[in-house]
Amino acid sequence: MPETTTSSWAEHAQRVLIGAGHQRGGARARIIDLLARQSCALSAIEIDDALRAEGTPIGRASIYRVLDLLVEHRLVERLTIDHGHARFERIEPDGHHHHHLLCDRCGQLVAFDDPDLERAIKQLSKRLDLHVEHHDVLLHGACGACAS
């Protein structure tokens, strides 16, 4: 993702939390910064591993508390991807989002954008006279390496 998008999301997230009366916290800021640099959803364990690799570990309970707070303020969405395990992905202030393909063999999560799919969802919502506020598309299959 372009740097302006990621830094603007991190700044937006901090503004929302401060506006809601939350103090700036070191753990929260590190998690926000990490999520801002990601192109796709991460599990709490992957967040924990990444922070440890950066030399800034945070207790797992704190990670879950921060993620719950970010979900509560609609800054991050919780995606149930594989076998009930949650992954977390930032919600862009401008509404831009992508969808996912999950390799059922190796667990790789691949993000994809598809303007035609977005148009089809809009057309479907009009045809059904349904206001779609949010949608997730998760395709299951095998990645190129596993399909071979």
Judge if 64 and 12 occupy the same domain.
yes
| The pLDDT value given to residue 78 | 93
**Is it the case that residue 8 has pLDDT exceeding 80?**
yes
**Is it the case that residue 6 has pLDDT exceeding 60?**
no
Task: Compute the distance between CA of residue 33 and CA of residue 10 in angstroms, rounded to an integer.
Answer: 6
pLDDT tens-digit map of 10-55: 999 999 999 999 988 899 999 999 999 998 899 999 999 999 999 9
Here the CATH number for the domain that contains residue 126 is 3.30.1490.190
The SS3 of residue 80 is: strand
Range of the domain at 43: 1-92
**Is it the case that residue 4 has pLDDT exceeding 60?**
no
Judge if 84 and 32 occupy the same domain.
yes
Q: What count of other Cβ atoms lies within 10 Å of the Cβ of residue 38?
A: 17
- pTM for the model: 0.81
Task: Compute the distance between CA of residue 34 and CA of residue 70 in angstroms, rounded to an integer.
Answer: 13
